[in-house]
Every structure is written in structure tokens, then in C-alpha cells.
Amino acid sequence: MVGGATVSLGARTLTLTGDHDISVSGVVSGTGSAALVKNGAGTLTLSGANTFTGTTAVNAGTLAISHASALGTAAGGTIVSTGAILSLSGGITVAGEALTLAGTLRGASGSNTYGGAITLSGGGVFESAVAGQTLTLSGGVNLSTHQATFAGAGDISVSGVVSNSAGSVVKNGTGTLTFAAANTYVGSTTINAGTLVISHGTALGTTAAGTTVASGATLAFTGSIAVGAEALTVSGAGAGGTGALRNLAEANAFAGDVTFAGDTTLTSAAGGLSLTGALAAGGHTLTVNGAGNLTFASTVADAVDLVKTGAGALTFAADQTFSGEVTLGGGTLALSNADVSIATLRITAGSILDFGGTSVLTVGELILDLADGQFLSITSWQDYTDFFCATEFAGAEFDLRGVAPMNRILFADFGDGDTRWQSGNNEITPVPEPAAYGLLSLGALLAAPWLRRRRRAAVPAVVAVAGRDGNGCQRPRDSA
């Protein structure tokens, strides 16, 4: 231990070796090419306001710094070799010190900032060791052709640009990594654990190599961003069960093709996330939850089962076919000019079914598992324009009104005694008392065929369907 003594290098190089720990709290000064070299497996601790102007080289072991200028002036830069560690503690900000990294840059304690430009000369590791504390990288990271691994139980915030010609990014550890800049790296992004939060449309770099979210990890969106055609493979319930894809705030969009490689949870905590690329479920179960909204703007291929919970809305803005069971346990299932077919639709909590635009819902079996006082509420319904059909309706009888389970379906502007499951075409529809529409009923009946023809002509996917669909429901015919 050198302790608080001042160390004057002049223009020479000081090399420290050995397996023992050394602590220098005094000032290390030097001019010109004055440099500091750390060899050996031990830990060298620098806690003084150092002024030497040369290079700091960490070839082995650990260099621990707890002062913003412990590395001396920014003139010479710092080099951390493979297997070596540069450790920051004390809530410091290192400004402007260029770092060449093949080893590890660690945030050991406190929330620390490294403001110099970082260039990888090998596979570099960025680690935030303590949960609840943040290592901030504000000077940019050039991956070159190497892999950058972000790890640890703490958080890492990268506000500078991550760039490279062929490098890649790997997220390990339970902490949260945030990418906030217009990154330009062309390699892949792999999230093995914890959460990667992106708040810029190109935070994932170019779209050349794609992104993978492993089971137990999360990719999160915020900042009103639009991500381009980044191929995405995702599975699992997310970090801590928070969703493998998670919308944190604002309205965000993801235009890349999404492959669900296993059962997957998608959570919108607030705001809304729109998935506009191709979606491939691969036969896996999709779970959608949260108080925010989620939109499927394209057809989900190989869709089988889906579970929807939470107060938010799930919108189908494209035609969908689910060969298994869709469970609606809260919030809103919205159809936006969509033709949706579901083998089994189970309602387990008070929910809303919204028919936006011109929409069709056909169900093989409808099951209402609702507690007393709960309803399936139908909104935005236009009679003779929207269509809701169930081949089987558990516990129901054709053409009855005002009894369970028909009275648990409540159309907007109608009463709970106005819902009927019609024989002949299996349609679930509001049928008000004649007195309510006495003067309009004849006109409505006369207009119905014309309205049906106009509606079917406007939706080619439905025009092609005549007679009974795949669920056995009688569909309106196109008689134009």
C-alpha cells in the first residue's frame, strides 16, 4: 500500500505487478509520456485527483477508481486488456477519457458514468454489479468487429451511439439495459436475461441481423418510436413475468417480422404497441395483458390459443384465424375491419367486444364463464353491417331472450333482455322489443338485403364466403 503519498512519474512509466492489492490515495502526477501500467492478478485502487498525462494500461487484475480524474488527464486514454477489469465506484463521472476495451468495465458501487469514447479491441464486457444502481455510458461504443456483453444485476444506460462494422450485442444478467441513441451497429442483438429498453427507432442498430429475446428476458419500448423491419424471435413470459415484449409508455410501433418461438407473453403497461410486420405463432400460446393497448396489424400465422387479460385493448386490424381457444378475461378485444374466426371463445371476466369499422366474428363454441354482475359488452355494433356468429353457445337455446346465458351479452344501447341467438344462421344479435322500434322495423327489414349487399361488396374477404363458414355458421350471402 502506497497510501496518501504523492507519486511523481516525471515522464516515466510506473508498472505495478503482483497478486497483492495496492491502494494509492495520493496524487499521481507526470508529464509527457508518463504512464501507468497494471500487471498481475491483484487490485490497484486509485482514489486521488491524478494529473499524469500518459496512458493507463490495465493488462491483468483490477484497476479500481473512485475519483473522476483517477485515470489522470484525458490526453493518453486507457487500455483494458482481455481478462482485466476497470472498476468504477463512488458515484463518479469520468469525462472524455478514451477507452480501448477487451476486458471488463464495471460499475462496482454507486451510480457511475463513463463519458469517454469506447472502442472494443476484443469481446468487451460492461457490468453493473449492484441492483438499483446504474452505469451510464455517454461517450459512444464502437464495437468494431467484436461482441459487447452487458451484464450484472444493476442497470446500464447507453446514451451514446453504439456503432460498428460487424459487431454484436448480448444482454445477460437481471438488470435493465437502455439504448437511447440512433445506433448503427449491424450485428445481431441477443437478450438472454433481464430487460433491454429501447427509446429510439434505430436503437437496435440496422435491420441486417435481427434480434432474439430468450425465454425469461424482455424487450421493452418507450418514447413514441417506430422500429423498422428488424426480424424478431421471441418467447417466454419475460423478465420476472413482465412480458417478453413490453410497452412501457407512449404509442410505439414495430414493423419487423415477429416469430414466436414458444409460448409468449406480450404486455402493454401503458400507451400502445402496434406490431405491423408478419406474425408467426408457430402453434404456441400467446398471452396479452396490461392496462395499455396492443395491435396486431397483420394476420397471425399458425395461431392456436390466445389469452387476453388486463384492462387494455387488443386490436385485430387484420383477419385472424385461431384454431384453438381464445380466452377473454378482461379489457377489450377490438376488431378493426377484420374477419376473425375462433374455434372456441371463452369469456372469464367482464369484457368488451368492439366491432370497429366493418367486422365479422365467427365462433365454433362460445362459453361464458362470468360471475354474477359481469357481462360481455358489445360496442360499436352496426346491425346489418357487423356479424357475430356462434355455432355452439354453451347453455343457450335458440331464439330466447332475457334468460342466461343470452342475458349476459349486452349490446350498447340495448338491454340485457334484448340479445338473441338466432336459429337458422347462428347469429348473436340485439333484437329490441317492437315498441322501441315500431315505426322503423318495416324500413329496417326492407333495407336489410341492400345493406348486406353493400357491406359484403366492401369487404372482398367476406364476399368470397357463401353459405356456412368453417365453423358451420350461416354467413350472409353476396347477392350483388
What letter would DSSP give residue 402?
S
| Residues 30 and 54 sit within 8 Å (Cβ to Cβ) | yes
The mean of the pLDDT values for the chain is 91
Give the mean model confidence (pLDDT) for residues 125-140: 98
Over residues 227-261, the pLDDT tens digits come to 999 999 999 999 999 999 999 999 999 999 999 99
Distance, CA of 306 to CA of 296 (rounded, Å): 13
Listed by start position, the domains of the chain span: 435-475
- Asked whether the predicted pLDDT for residue 361 surpasses 90, the reply is yes
The sign one gets for the Cα dihedral 201, 202, 204, 209 is: positive
Length of the chain: 480
Pairing assessment for the beta strands 474-475 and 467-468 based on DSSP bridges: antiparallel
Q: What is the DSSP code string of 49-77?
A: -----S-EEE-SSEEEE-STTTT--TTS-
The sign one gets for the Cα dihedral 393, 396, 400, 406 is: negative
pTM of the predicted structure, to 2 decimals: 0.91
pLDDT at 227: 98
pLDDT at 448: 43
pLDDT at 365: 98
- Helix (H) or strand (E) holding 474, with range, is strand 474-475
| Residues 225 and 252 sit within 8 Å (Cβ to Cβ) | yes
Q: What is the DSSP code string of 351-386?
A: EEEEEESS-EEEEEEEEE---TT--EEEES--TTT-
Give the mean model confidence (pLDDT) for residues 99-120: 98
Over residues 315-342, the pLDDT tens digits come to 999 999 999 999 999 999 999 999 999 9
pLDDT at 472: 52
Q: How confident is the model at residue 474 (pLDDT cuts 50, 70, 90)?
A: low
Place of cell 410497452: 247
- Asked whether the predicted pLDDT for residue 271 surpasses 50, the reply is yes
Residue 147 CA to its chain's centroid (Å) = 23
